[in-house]
């Protein structure tokens, strides 16, 4: 596993897995992502995600009825420098085009469309199905 290098001034899109790996300290991914959150904390980069990430990250904690983890996710996603963007009609139109031309799931198409609409320089995910199927 390499090192994550992010140029100052970048707009970085993070999907739900990146947030989950960070908050639940998954394997080595948490350490790998540390530079991302440090640079964001210093306001050197912009971190962007879709409001869909809010839903996706809370499913596991809700199933387990883990109130503390639910609060942790809500605090991170709603009270930090992460820019959660609404799913607009424009994003949905782009997502339809992506979904029709690639073998990707609807949530992945929405994430990609959001990143494209906001002109993100970098897209972070570890969703192997997404990586394999998006051209």
| Tens-binned pLDDT, residue by residue, of the chain (135 aa) | 567 788 899 999 999 999 999 888 877 787 888 888 888 888 889 999 999 999 999 999 999 999 999 999 999 999 878 999 999 999 999 999 999 998 899 999 999 999 999 999 999 998 777 666 665
Question: Do you know the residue count of the chain?
Answer: 135
pTM of the model: 0.90
Contact in structure between 77 and 100 (CB atoms under 8 Å): no
Sheet holding 122-124, edge to edge: 83-85, 46-50, 11-14, 122-124
Q: How far apart, in whole angstroms, are the C-alpha atoms of residue 19 and residue 77?
A: 9
Three-state DSSP at 84 gives strand
Over residues 94-124, the pLDDT tens digits come to 999 999 998 899 999 999 999 999 999 999 9
């Amino acid at each position: 596993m390499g090192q994550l290098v992010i140029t100052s001034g970048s707009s970085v899109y993070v999907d739900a897995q990146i947030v989950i790996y960070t908050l639940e300290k998954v394997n080595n991914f948490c350490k790998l992502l540390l530079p991302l959150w440090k640079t964001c904390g210093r306001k050197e980069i912009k971190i962007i995600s879709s409001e869909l990430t809010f839903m996706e990250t809370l499913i596991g904690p809700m199933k387990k009825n883990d109130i503390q983890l639910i609060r942790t996710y809500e605090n991170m996603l709603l009270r930090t420098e992460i820019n959660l963007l609404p799913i607009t009609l424009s994003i949905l139109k782009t997502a339809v085009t992506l979904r029709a031309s690639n073998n990707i799931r609807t949530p992945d198409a929405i994430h990609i469309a959001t990143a494209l609409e906001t002109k993100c320089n970098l897209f972070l995910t570890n969703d192997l199905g997404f990586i394999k199927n998006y051209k």
